[in-house]
Structure 1
């Protein structure tokens, strides 16, 4: 199993492709073929980083909107 993880981490797709896949997952609209392609090509470490960054940006945006509406 550790060999599979090492192989997955060595994948070399662009970080932009990873961010795009994570944004599609936030929206929840994705074709099965696109999901399968992403699962084969994306680096799991990049997916985790992009997911955490996306969640932080989402939360900060919500807090900004709420602070403007309440003020």
Structure 2
């Protein structure tokens, strides 16, 4: 496919599930560059922000619960 045909190809909006998977892989730090570039072109930035904040909150709350559980024993 030529460069012009790729440029004219419509970019599909990314799903919320794709955003969750992208942020989860980013937290682990294992992601192929080609897949990362493809995701960046397709995801909604507001989804990424929301998912990132949500996962960070769940992570912090999980750590707090784990520490309280270990200290209580």
- List alignment gaps of at least 5 residues for structure 2: 1-11
Superposed CA RMSD in Å reads 1.0
Post-superposition offset of 1:13: 1.4
- List alignment gaps of at least 5 residues for structure 1: 1-10
- Bigger RCO (CA 8 Å, 6+ sep): 1
Runs of 4+ in 1 over 6 A off after TM superposition: none
Query: Map of 1:1-71 to 2, 5 A cutoff?
Result: 12-71=13-72
Q: Distance in 2 between matches of 1:16 and 1:52?
A: 15
TM-score, normalising length: structure 1: 0.82
Q: Which is greater in Rg? A: 2
